[in-house]
Structure 1
Amino acid sequence: MSPEPFTHEHADMHPPAQLSPDTSVPPAASKPATGRYARIFEIAGSAFFSVGFLARLPLAMLTIGALTLVTSITGSYAQGGFAAGAVGLGSALGAPLLGYLADRIGQRPLLLGTAVANPLMILAVLWTASQLPGGGPLAAVLAAAFAMGASSAQVGPLARVRWMSLTARDRTGQELGTALSYESMADELSFVLGPALVGLLAATVAPWLPLALAAALSATMVTAFALHRTVGAVQPSPRRRRPANGKARASKDRAEGVSWALLALPVLGMVAMGTFFGATQASLTAFGGSFGIADAAGLLYSVMGISSAAAALSVAFWPEKFSQSARWVMSAFAMTGAALLLLLPGGVPEMLVVLFILGIPVGPTMVSIFGIGAQLAPRHLMGTVMTLLASGTVTGTAIGSALAGPLAEEYGHGAAFWVSAGAAAALLVLGLASSAAVRRAKKDPA
């Protein structure tokens, strides 16, 4: 069944339905708005939510876990930063590959493979790091950290692919919109809870314990996610042969509603979003340091994550006539204005208020970008595209940290917060470009 390439009344086109929809689930167009979240619990089953959330926690723990472990062993923030960077680089490069493999061989075997490989790589990090006091090479730790990041299960993106299939019969798009809102909320909470859990365990027990817990969660909960019944809704797509005639391939892509130029916009949007995250984290560390509480930067940052998660849930109840592109533009505009408020606080209480306000447009922006990515993704590469969006966030986070960190050290946190504001402005520009491109493509699908 081919998607409707830019011929829908709104920009909120329903994503392609090639993913073997769950025919046991009746359409719910008549369901009241207040029952939308109850509806997705009916579709996937309550176990899907607890398993999916716990399965994505290891990914949120690995970067800061490596940073904490190596820093505690060596006493060097630089070496700890190198280890964290290796994890991020591995995740950014490995995520699209894992998504592609999930599209080709299916989610279940791919996830079962990561449930074995990732805990082994985590153990490799723990072992190589333990050799550092005796003269062990840092290069071995970095290689293990890279492999640890590259092999981490991309639960959030793959869960979104399942939702695209499970909700394919709902032509209103309400069920998918609700599911994507939930997934963004779950991502936000995991990246708030994960680092907090690492800090708590490392401070109260031992620096190695957070990574050990991540290994246990990866082995058990990723396996449970791989075996959950919803995995059967997504069928792998065998690799297609490249047509001898390039024009034939281009024609086929157009017939399937594929626009690679358009698809680059949400991917770049997630890079800008990641840049915003990385810059804000680095800037808040410098801001906290000016009050002697640099270690509390994660707690400050979590305030934005909480309001962002709550706002993401609200997107399911936004008017249907409010297109995904318009939501992106509006939310990014609000983000840009709120990011400028970061320059104003002179104390921690004021900063907490600003961060709470700033988080409100962040969640809806993420939901909108993932929604547009789902609409534009080629039917046979859904997993690849979803993991590309996720890896864009990781890549952007590294960029934001690299830009804001030196500025904060040289000129103070005020200068570093300009990177956050610039990233939000870039999101607005990309949103406007996406909106214009979608309108143009609707008028001329060819």
Structure 2
Amino acid sequence: MSNPYKEIFQVPGAKGFAAAGFFARLPFAMAPIGIIAMLSQTRGEYWLAGAVSATFALTNALVSPQISRLVDRLGQRAVVAPATLVSVIAFAILIIAARQGWPAWTLFVAAFLSAVMPSMPAMVRARWTEIFRGRPELNTAFAFESAADELVYIAGASLSVGLAVSLFPEAGMVVSTASLALGTIAFLLQRSTEPKVRVSGSEGRQRSAIWLRPVQIITAALIFVGATFATAEVSAVAITKELGQPEAASIVIGVYAIGSFLVGLAIGALNLSMPLQRQLLIAVTVLALTALPLLVAGSSVALLASAVFLSGVAISPTFITAFGLIERRVPESMLTEGVTWVMTGIGIGMALGAFVSGLVVDSFGPTNGFWVSVAASLITVLIVALGQTILGGERLPSDEAPVTQAAE
């Protein structure tokens, strides 16, 4: 039996841009927690550390789709290179400001400017789409990327905190910034796999991809999927602390991502004939069902880890099918922006899920935090179920994409 992952990497240039993209996306996991680890040690104020980190995360969530929209119109190298340069310089200023004790406002300005960091997961997926557009291998490529995202979240956050604690406060951010700079340079030097710029008939008047109904439905669904992901992390930390084993939190969170990672790889090796919108509905339904055991898993670390592992099995299949639908339903001239909106939805959901579950844990106890996961996953099922007809439609041609009225 042939190995589908081996086959996709036989394409010239695939190994290079995939490896470079992996390192270039590490800051997505390392930077937010790295900022907190750095500033909590150098300034001793957790509220300031959290506020600066939130400034970066929320600004990036709003700005990255606009960066990707420019990429669709001008090309990856023309936009990603200057945006990354600004981000790297701003991260460097943030590191220096933290170390030298500069005024707090400089931290916020640096965090704000560093948020122009491009969405590298979207750039990598755009290259896979350029190679395998309309072919079953694209599903395998998206599965690999979802697995890579899981590895980034597993390793990135732990690496960032570990470096800051064991070496010096800024160590995690230094490595994160270096990964962004070197990984992006290596990625952009590979011109042979760079997607072609596809100019639509309404160029100059074309509106954002978020106005497309499929993008709205999938982004809304992934907001609540992201909320379930963040809730599991917050609740795991709270429950293990209550059980007197706070060090077990990292193990439980790792098990959650490993479950998603393994199932994602397995799904990517299959060539399913079922329509993608049906696959997405099944995946989010499994997500909702596997969230239920979490409600009774707070009595021991072993039981918690088992329940969390089970609840993670549907995460990667959900991401894989969601990105596959974006590729099929969004005009080619808007693909990178469409993928980035979905990534933004995940990030917003994680931020909201962490906030809401934190309030629930503080008010009603650690085990009740998982009610947020149950509620969020049920809402996801409802959104995807109601959107089946739209998600199952045909791709909207570029010249029929939403446009603004031309100036008279």
TM beyond 0.5: yes
| Aligned pair partner of 1:143 in 85, 106, 109 | 109
Alignment-mate amino acid for residue 368 of structure 2: A
For 1:260, the equivalent position in structure 2 comes to 212
The 5 Å alignment of 1:336-415 reads 336-345=288-297, 346-415=299-368
> Over residues 151-177 of structure 1, what are the superposed CA-to-partner deviations in whole Å (9 max), with x where a residue is unaligned?
223111111111111112xx4x31111
1:390-435, Cα deviation, whole Å (9 max, x unpaired): 1111111111111111111121112211111111112211221232
Give the residue type in structure 1 aligned to 2:90: M
For 1:59 and 1:145, locate their aligned partners in 2 and report how far apart those are by CA, in whole Å: 13
Cross-structure match for 1:166:
131
Q: Deviations over 1:269-308 (max 9, x none)?
A: 2211221122222222211221344465344212111121
- CA deviation map 1:309-368 (0-9, x unaligned): 121112223353222111111111111111121121211111111111111111101111
* 2:381 equivalent to 1:428: yes
The 1:239/1:83 distance shift into structure 2, 3 A limit, reads: farther
Per-residue deviation, 1:74:
2.6
**Cα shift at 1:236:** 5.3
* 2:189 alignment partner, one of 210, 227, 232: 227
- Note closer, same or farther for the CA distance 1:259–1:121 as it changes in structure 2 (3 Å cut): closer
* Counterpart amino acid of residue 303 in structure 1: V
Task: Name the counterpart of 2:120.
Answer: 155
Aligned to 1:270: 222
Tell me the secondary structure at the aligned position of residue 42 of structure 1: coil
Tell me which residue corresponds to 1:8.
Answer: none
Write out per-residue CA displacement over residues 48-107 of structure 1, whole angstroms, 9 at most, x where no aligned residue: 332221111122210000111111223232222212211211220121011011112110
Name the residue aligned to 1:95.
64
Is contact 2:66-2:337 (8 Å) kept? yes
Verify the 8 A CA contact 1:259 1:376 in the aligned structure 2. Answer: no
**Distance change >3 Å, CA 230–CA 276, structure 1 → 2:** farther
- Paired letter, 1:193: A
CA 235–436 in structure 1, closer or farther in 2 if over 3 Å, else same: closer
Question: In structure 2, what is the equivalent of residue 302 of structure 1?
Answer: 254
Hey, what's the Cα distance between the residues in 2 that align with 1:292 and 1:121?
Answer: 40
Task: Report percent identity of matched pairs.
Answer: 24
Whether the aligned pair in 2 keeps the contact of 1:336 and 1:424 (CA below 8 Å) is yes
Gap change, CA 1:317 and 1:241, over 3 Å in 2: closer
**Partner Cα separation in structure 2 for residue 235 and residue 107 of structure 1:** 9
- When normalised by structure 2's length, the TM-score is 0.90
Matched positions, count: 395
User: Structure 1 pair 198/242, CA: closer, same or farther in 2 (3 Å)?
Assistant: closer
Determine the structure 2 residue equivalent to 1:335: 287
Q: Is the 8 A contact 2:291 2:374 kept in 1?
A: yes
Q: 1:259 to 1:126 in 2, by over 3 A?
A: closer
Q: Which amino acid aligns with 1:137?
A: P
TM-score (norm 1): 0.82
Distance 2:109 2:371 in 1: 34
Q: Which whole-Å deviations, capped at 9, do the CAs of 1:377-398 have from their partners, x for residues lacking one?
A: 1221111111111111111111
Where do 5+ consecutive residues of structure 1 fail to align?
Answer: 1-31, 244-248
CA distance in 2 between partners of 1:163 and 1:399 (Å): 31
Q: Quote the Cα distance in structure 2 between the aligned partners of 1:242 and 1:198.
A: 41
C-alpha RMSD of matched pairs (Å) = 2.6
Structure 2 unaligned segments of length 5 or more: list them: 401-408
1:181-196 matches, within 5 Å, as 181-196=143-158
